[in-house]
Amino acid sequence: MIVKHLKDIVGTDAEVDGGNWVSRRFLLRKDGAGFSLNDTVIRAGTETYIHYANHLEAVYCVAGNGEIEDLETGTVHPISDGMLYVLNGHERHKLRGGTQDMRMVCVFTPPLTGREVHDENGVYPVLTDDA
């Protein structure tokens, strides 16, 4: 059984600040669950280009507001508490923070190691070394 608490992650290497967002990484590849799980805050008023070319991501909003734009179709979906979206087609997208920070629960497969950050193309590399 794995048991973790947010207060034990904040301020450690498992909390990654990407500028427009901060990701608290609860479950990682080394935990052996087959997926990773992050508690991520998207800062209000920000815009981030993302393209998960190597990962599938499911995102559930638990607080705040914003929007996601599918750059392949131009469709914009508002995000608020209780909304889920899944990037199951490796969609290039822009994630925009709204008038308040958004708090998101994010699940990735393949699982993250915890060291990933978006590259210049918005992509997380596939890292296999947990060190």
- The per-residue pLDDT for range 38-76, each reduced to its tens digit, is 999 999 999 999 988 888 999 999 999 999 999 999 999
Q: What are the structure tokens assigned to 116, written together?
A: 């990933």
Which pLDDT belongs to residue 112? 85
DSSP H or E segment with residue 97: strand 92-97
Task: State pTM to two decimals.
Answer: 0.87
- The per-residue pLDDT for range 89-125, each reduced to its tens digit, is 999 999 999 999 999 999 999 998 876 666 666 666 6
> Structural domain boundaries of the chain?
33-109
Contacts of 85 (CB under 8 A, 6+ apart): 58, 59, 68, 77, 79
- Enter the CATH code of domain 33-109: 2.60.120.10
Q: How far is CA 68 from the centre of its chain?
A: 13
Backbone angles phi, psi at 39, to 5 degrees: -105, 110
